[in-house]
Amino acid sequence: MKKIDGKWAVFCCILLLAAAICGCGAKETVQEKGVAVDMQALQKSMLAADTTLPEMKVATSDDEQAELNFTAFSDFDYDRVQSYFYAYAADGGSQEVAVVELKEAGDAAVLMNTMQDHLEDRRGALTAYAPDQLPLVDHAVIKQKGQLVAMIISEKSGLIQQAFEAE
């Protein structure tokens, strides 16, 4: 009887371990499943979230000068970018909203570092010509969600971030 109880206990432990391993598996994101991101819808949603934004000019990966326009906010290797949009204040203000869809989510840290460098450059420029705009840059948000990375410089960056996360 003890031999059967011991085998039964080992069998139960193995089943519990197998269930735990299966339950802890990695969850697939929308991007990992290969579902395309609707960047136009994301752009529209994010820009509409902050009604205090000034008129914004928008550059996208669909533009003729897409790679050149991308360098306005990042020196990341453009060959590793799937798509992007970059909205910036038409009046030269500090407000910016950018989202980059990467080909590989593993590249996010490098892209985020280049965006942080962009923020430092903006700080330097604003110190000279528009110091009243510095608080916007100081409270900028850089956020990753799967293969998407967003940079938000806005008075209502939290609302824009919520729109980013909702999409």
- For residue range 104-159, what is the model confidence (pLDDT) as tens digits? 999 999 999 999 999 999 988 888 888 888 888 889 999 999 999 999 999 999 99
Provide the strand spans (E) within 2-72. Answer: 56-60
Q: Residues 89, 56: contact at Cβ < 8 Å?
A: yes
* Tokens, residue 109: 């840290």
Mean of the per-residue pLDDT values for the chain?
84
At 74, is the pLDDT very low, low, confident or very high (cuts 50, 70, 90)?
A: very high
Arithmetic mean of pLDDT, 41-54: 94
Q: Residues 167, 45: contact at Cβ < 8 Å?
A: yes
pLDDT of residue 10: 56
pLDDT of residue 32: 44
Q: How far is CA 17 from CA 21, 26, 74, in A?
A: 6, 16, 46
pLDDT of residue 14: 56
Query: Is pLDDT of 2 > 90?
Result: no
With b for 16 or more beta-carbon neighbours within 10 A and e for fewer, the 35-74 pattern comes to eebebeebbebbbebbeebeebebbbbeeeebeebbeebb
Arithmetic mean of pLDDT, 10-17: 53
Beta bridge partners of 99: 85, 150
* Tokens, residue 31: 């991007």
